[in-house]
């Protein structure tokens, strides 16, 4: 397994792409309200990336995918396809996953949205899943192991009586959208590859209210929970620095990140 180690100059380029990806999620936030379609959200994101950011939406044309964002609602774990007929309702939870290419470099991130007034059990799922992401990020430092990331995420999820999806994982990223290594969101401390400064990858835990098992729908993209219960996901692109992880896709509402 060959893992790319980025130079400081290359990480600087990834900072630009990461900031743009975060900016898309900040831009779209006020539009996520009951009554809007996921197709309309996709259109807004596409036009913003292309016309305002002068960047490239990485998902368009990727392995045949036609949309800018993935929009995963309620029981959809990941890869939900935006649709003008999919209207958001009060109480829905939504993940928007977006990747931006700028000057050949990728920034990949996702955020959960509470649509209108959500039930307490859905708010809790969204909150705990974000905590899982942060605990995974906190485990990153030179000399640690990839298993440490998965262990931290799994421990927090299961402590809160949730399950971790094992069929999908984080990934290395740079000028290539998905590259080595794979970042599992479950595991044991001290196992796997040793983390090195200059590695860049995503951490993107998918956490279910029910069982961990998933199913892929006939469209070949949409992944749902097998038991029909809700799922949540948060994602960041990170770079491994001397003192830990730098979150390249940090949003402005995340004040405490990158304070290593």
Cα–Cα distances (Å) from 228 to 116, 117, 129, 165, in that order, read 21, 21, 18, 14
**What domains sit in the chain, N to C, each tagged with a CATH number?**
8-247 (3.90.230.10)
pLDDT number for residue 260: 42
* 38 backbone dihedrals φ, ψ, rounded to 5°: -65, -25
**Strand 206-208 to strand 200-203: parallel, antiparallel, or no bridges (unpaired)?**
unpaired
Average model confidence (pLDDT) across the chain = 96
Query: What would the pLDDT profile of 201-246 be if each residue is shown by its tens digit?
Result: 999 999 999 999 999 999 999 999 999 999 999 999 999 999 999 9
Torsion of CA 21, 22, 24, 27, to 10 degrees: -170
Can you count the helices (H) and strands (E) in the chain?
4, 15
Q: Name the H helices within 139-199.
A: 146-159
Query: What would the pLDDT profile of 113-161 be if each residue is shown by its tens digit?
Result: 999 999 999 999 999 999 999 999 999 999 999 999 999 999 999 999 9
Q: Distance between CA atoms of 140 and 150, rounded to whole angstroms?
A: 11
HEC string for 80-119: CCCCCCCECCCCCEEEEEEEEEECCEEEEEEEEEECCCCC
pLDDT number for residue 36: 98
Q: Distance between CA atoms of 250 and 23, rounded to whole angstroms?
A: 9
Confidence of residue 186 (pLDDT cuts 50, 70, 90): very high
Confidence of residue 257 (pLDDT cuts 50, 70, 90): low
Confidence of residue 60 (pLDDT cuts 50, 70, 90): very high
């Amino acid at each position: 397994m060959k893992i790319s180690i980025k130079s400081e100059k290359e990480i600087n380029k990834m900072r630009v792409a990461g900031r743009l990806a975060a900016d898309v999620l900040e831009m779209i936030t006020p539009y996520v309200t009951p009554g809007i379609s996921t197709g309309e959200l996709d259109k807004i994101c596409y036009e913003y990336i292309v016309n305002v950011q002068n960047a490239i939406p990485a998902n368009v044309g990727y392995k045949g995918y036609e949309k800018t964002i993935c929009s995963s609602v309620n029981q959809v774990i990941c890869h939900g396809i935006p649709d003008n007929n999919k209207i958001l309702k009060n109480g829905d939870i939504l993940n928007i996953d977006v990747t931006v290419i700028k000057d050949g470099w990728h920034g990949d991130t996702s955020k959960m949205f509470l649509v209108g007034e959500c039930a307490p059990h859905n708010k809790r799922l969204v909150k705990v899943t974000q905590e899982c992401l942060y605990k995974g990020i906190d485990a990153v430092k030179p000399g640690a192991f990839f298993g440490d990331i998965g262990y931290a995420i799994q421990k927090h999820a299961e402590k809160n009586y949730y399950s971790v999806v094992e069929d999908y994982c984080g990934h290395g990223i740079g000028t290539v959208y998905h590259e080595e290594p794979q970042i599992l969101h479950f595991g044991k401390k001290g196992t796997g590859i040793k983390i090195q400064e200059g590695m860049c990858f995503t951490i993107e835990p998918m956490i279910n209210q029910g069982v961990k098992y998933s199913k892929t729908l006939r469209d070949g993209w949409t992944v749902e929970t097998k038991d029909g219960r809700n799922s949540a996901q948060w994602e960041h692109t990170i770079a491994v620095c001397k003192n830990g992880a730098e979150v390249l896709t940090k949003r402005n509402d995340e004040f405490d990140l990158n304070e290593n």
